[in-house]
Amino acid sequence: MEKLFTVGQVCKCCGISRSTILRMENRGLLSPARVDKNTGYRYYDIYNVTKILHIQMFLNMGLTYDDAYSYYVSNGKSSEILTALESRLALLTSAYEEMKLRMDDKRHLQLEIIKLPEYVCYQKEFKGASWSDKYRDMYNLFGEVVEKGYRPLISERIFVINNNDWSEREEKEEKEGENTYICCVPLDPSCADDSTVFYPSCTAFSMLCYGDDKAISKAHAEFDEKLRALGLKPAGRKRGIGIVSGYTGKEFSRENHVSRLVVPIENLDKEEIDRLSRSGLIKNR
């Protein structure tokens, strides 16, 4: 005989409330195995319980009831859900790498070949001679974004594009005085207008680093040297992405600031990427 369970048993097993079960039923996600015609009591089977747990897993990953519904009606082949999961995976990976970098007390994370997404940015060009200048300018630019009613892209951080050639070192620039750079705030694509700039998706060479201003300047020099040594051809200017810096982590000491250095590169074929990955010099994400 098939085992059936009461609402109370299912709630206790799954750690949810009766209203949550009814919500799933109202959204077409769940149907009781049997409803008593006389009492109206609902009974659920093993399939119901395991499906509830599956839906709970989706919710814990940041998906919605509507996402779960799309998953089931599409027979588990929803491109929209896959895109949502990829976005969340990128966020989790970024947060994990940032924290692990500090916990391991390593100045540099493994070099990577990554895919940068499309960006719609609000940006301005500034002049400065120090990291403090850049932090100040990025802070002020973000303030303009808020005032103008733009929506910053939650998955991406503010970044700076150096106007110098990729091979020129930041240390040299600071000794010579002011240099120009562009501060960029990635926005939700719906904010695109005549005052925003579009950056296409591209392949990029990347290094995650942390430490005070001197450590990050040193990382810039090492990053450039690695780029040359690997024979990678830049296809754009170097960017410094502030993962946690003076304008995002006021409570953090300078020694615990984290930046990602990236430079767009000419597209590599699969054989070249595999060769670099096998060499252990870089990780392909």
Residue 272 pLDDT more than 80?
no
- Calculate what percentage of the chain has a pLDDT beyond 90: 45
Same domain membership, residue 121 and residue 259? yes
> Is there a single domain that holds both residue 60 and residue 109?
no
Alpha-carbon gap, residue 20 to 259, rounded angstroms: 42
What pLDDT was estimated at residue 215? 81
Give mean pLDDT, residues 209-226: 84
pLDDT in tens, 132-164: 888 889 989 999 999 999 999 887 888 999 876
- Could you tell me if 263 and 164 are in contact, meaning their C-beta atoms sit under 8 angstroms apart? no
Residues 220 and 142 in one domain: yes
pLDDT of residue 137: 92
- One domain for residues 61 and 123: no
CA distance 235 to 263: 8
Specify the number of domains making up the chain: 2
In the numeric block, the tokens 């719906």 are attached to: 190
Average pLDDT over residues 258-263: 89
Kindly state whether residues 167 and 251 are assigned to the same domain. yes
- Please choose, from the candidates 51, 56, 54, the residue with its C-alpha nearest in 3D space to the C-alpha of residue 30: 51
Residue 42 belongs to what domain range?
5-77
Of all residues in the chain, what percent carry a pLDDT higher than 70? Answer: 88
Domain match, 73 and 188 both: no
pLDDT band at 179 (very low <50, low <70, confident <90, very high): confident
The pTM assigned to this predicted structure is: 0.72
Q: Does 1 have pLDDT greater than 80? A: no
CATH value at residue 200: 3.20.80.10
71 and 150 assigned to the same domain: no
Q: Which of the two residues, 131 and 68, has the higher pLDDT score? A: 68
Separation of alpha carbons 186 and 142, rounded Å: 10
Angle at 231 between CA 175 and CA 213, to 5 degrees: 30
Per the model's pLDDT, the better-predicted residue between 250 and 217 turns out to be: 217
Grade residue 171 by pLDDT with cuts at 50, 70 and 90.
very low
User: What pLDDT score does 176 carry?
Assistant: 53
Same domain, 73 and 185: no
Establish if 91 belongs to a structural domain. no
- Grouping H, G, I as helix, E, B as strand and the rest as coil, residue 193 is coil
Nearest to 30 by CA among 42, 38, 40: 42
Q: Confirm whether 248 is domain-assigned.
A: yes
Do residues 58 and 173 share a domain?
A: no
Whether 245 has a pLDDT exceeding 80, the answer reads: no
Highest mean pLDDT (candidates 36-40, 239-243, 257-261)? 36-40
Which one, of 95, 108, 29, lies nearest residue 68 by Cα? 29
Q: Is the pLDDT of residue 213 over 50?
A: yes
Domain CATH number, residue 67: 1.10.1660.10
